Structure 1
């Protein structure tokens, strides 16, 4: 495979360098030399002294819950998970474009803005059957050469409340879903033992990881998290379980927080956040220091749940920093590290993971050639300004430039 050379780029804002990509990885990093003549067989990308960063990893996105590209719509959702879910159920078929068109558009926009690694949910329930899963699978196929997409079969309406849901979830796994999803075992399904029986049973049967939406508050949320941890340990699923959201888990007490971090570190349970507002924020520094994998995602995007989201993970990085009150450069850069390398380690537990708020992996020799060039004077400025001048690289090949697919 021919190599690609990125000339005059600054890895994580450092020294101006020439970076060679080959066989899907970074093959060499050398100080920039204007006199160097590139191999005639290589593709040369002019970096123009832009930042070189790992590409974004969106590990919590509902690709089938989107109205991006459609007219803005009044928000009509009722409070709570079930009320919002019913609002979506009552309206998603009436959109101005088909589910397939909306899903493909959203994934395309994400790639154009720098996301090349995705873990996306596809709703599976007795209302939509496998229609939404099939739309996400089709979008993945359309963009298979531009991004790595893993699909989570997701029971938005619970695993137990509607007869036949578990069988549909199994059908999705048979048809190529990569991850088994769960949601609120106590407050939604009201039977955590049966919920986890189905969740872990199907994951074990099809040898796939697990991703659980957990919105449950306080002590109840910790109870569910403890049950999930017990199953993880009993079934030897260390490194294969993610608890998404989980924001109410962090507002109970210091003792609860410490025990949760220790448990997740011991069992290699990861977590994905969407940087919600409010007082319950993840203790990002403590999680990194303990070796707990943390990733970021856009969630639903301008959909029937929320008007927020625009397919731009750099915007969501700003939101993560803002919600956590970050001002120091190290912490702003850590927010970007979570949005890039942090998420990549959820997709692949064997990948490099963040060890502290000062850790900046992803642009050294041997790292995957999943990269984005951004025009900014420093990393903090990139987070603050979210510039549009970007070039996106997947498996060592430019796939988007200036917010357009190549």
Structure 2
């Protein structure tokens, strides 16, 4: 693997430094002004910020119209109604699903994401067709990003025949995570839903990722059942709750109790920074020791007109919806969007230790980094400028929003 030398960069906005990279890892961070060794490629940082690359831990790679003509959004709202709306339209888009998924993943990388956990819908309608498209996208960008695919039963595991068998086939055909959704709200049978979900996880030795939109007490009930399964099957560090809206509705001291249980089992959370009453208390989660990552969700698809595949934009949204104003808290949102997501995908990495932790660009860390314009990290979040250089495994993979 080719070596790299980054000159005149500012790790997390600190002093000007040079960064040496070898065999895909950062080997040294020294005061600026050094010389790249003979035969080592030099990248001029020009005073830009050096941060860990973004980690998109919740993105529907098979749910996008980015790059296609604008289509006025007429989604009806609600999980089930929107699922049916998507089902009625996704096959008649202007280009095939594999091409759309590949384009979207390329945009994620170009904007700075090199770690991706992407969903591939599996149901009685599409069967494995959408999974095959996402696998093709992963293969197309294999040298640019690490991509984990979730077999996702958007229409539930029980409402249509044959879905558990399709999920099993998906886990033998390229998916590496098993997904679930609203055990009560969608399937109406949390015991059977979780029996199938955790049974598949145990059989294939894969992690679990559950979409949990259920609010209030209903969501707490489902979350409690997931916690029970995680403990019983000793799946510490292998379960992620996506959305987890119930945590936004739960007051203390009950919230503190639930967060303590999740932290003890290393159950992580993936958020897409929703507005309004579903905004998660980000600081409470990280201070409780819970791994939290950020995702883009669907991107300008048949559910929603929003999205541009830029996780820096989504980081702005995370800071904004949490009401963060001080630089330190805006930077914390940036730490969640970069390193925080990396620790969700790889629980062997140390979780953020609190709101002031700024890891990921020290000797020994993986050379998955991004150079951003900005006077300070908080300024980069506000300005979201296009002059970016993206490095994956010690190799430049994108520059100025274009793939290399």
What's the TM-score, normalizing by structure 2?
A: 0.99
- Please state how far the C-alpha of 1:254 moved relative to its aligned partner: 1.4
1:317 aligns with 2:292: no
1:135 aligns with 2:133: yes
Residues 57 and 344, structure 2, Cα contact 8 Å, conserved in 1: yes
- Please state how far the C-alpha of 1:75 moved relative to its aligned partner: 1.4
> C-alpha distance in 1, partners of 2:77/2:309?
24
Partner of 1:2: 2
Partner of 1:374: 372
What is the aligned counterpart of 2:353 among 352, 355, 358? 355
Partner of 1:84: 82
Residues 217 and 246, structure 2, Cα contact 8 Å, conserved in 1: no
> C-alpha distance in 1, partners of 2:144/2:213?
33
What does 1:44-193 align with in structure 2 at a 5 Å threshold? 44-193=42-191
Residues 2 and 41, structure 1, Cα contact 8 Å, conserved in 2: no
Moved over 6 A (4+): none
> C-alpha distance in 1, partners of 2:279/2:387?
31
- Please state how far the C-alpha of 1:280 moved relative to its aligned partner: 2.9
Partner of 1:202: 200
Q: Alpha-carbon deviations, 1:357-386, whole Å to 9, x = none?
A: 000000100011000000111101000000
- Please state how far the C-alpha of 1:260 moved relative to its aligned partner: 1.5
- Please state how far the C-alpha of 1:250 moved relative to its aligned partner: 2.1
Q: Alpha-carbon deviations, 1:154-206, whole Å to 9, x = none?
A: 00000000000000000000112110000000010000000000000000000
Number of equivalences: 404
* More displaced 10-residue stretch of structure 1: 19-28 or 243-252: 243-252
> C-alpha distance in 1, partners of 2:306/2:279?
18
Q: Secondary structure at the match of 1:64?
A: strand
- Please state how far the C-alpha of 1:104 moved relative to its aligned partner: 0.4
What's the TM-score, normalizing by structure 1?
A: 0.98
Residues 2 and 394, structure 2, Cα contact 8 Å, conserved in 1: no
> C-alpha distance in 2, partners of 1:52/1:373?
5
- Please state how far the C-alpha of 1:301 moved relative to its aligned partner: 0.2
Q: Secondary structure at the match of 2:48?
A: strand
Partner of 1:25: 25
- Please state how far the C-alpha of 1:80 moved relative to its aligned partner: 1.1
- Please state how far the C-alpha of 1:71 moved relative to its aligned partner: 1.3
What does 1:265-280 align with in structure 2 at a 5 Å threshold? 265-280=263-278
> C-alpha distance in 2, partners of 1:49/1:373?
9
Partner of 2:260: 262
Residues 243 and 272, structure 1, Cα contact 8 Å, conserved in 2: yes
Q: Alpha-carbon deviations, 1:185-244, whole Å to 9, x = none?
A: 001000000000000000000000000000111101000000000000000001000000
Residues 341 and 352, structure 1, Cα contact 8 Å, conserved in 2: no
**Gapped runs of 5+ residues in structure 2?**
none
- Please state how far the C-alpha of 1:145 moved relative to its aligned partner: 0.3
Partner of 1:300: 298
1:218 aligns with 2:216: yes
**Gapped runs of 5+ residues in structure 1?**
none
RMSD: 0.8
1:330 aligns with 2:328: yes
Q: Alpha-carbon deviations, 1:319-338, whole Å to 9, x = none?
A: 00111111000100000000
> C-alpha distance in 2, partners of 1:233/1:297?
26
Q: Alpha-carbon deviations, 1:223-280, whole Å to 9, x = none?
A: 0000000000000001000000012332132122112111111111000000001123
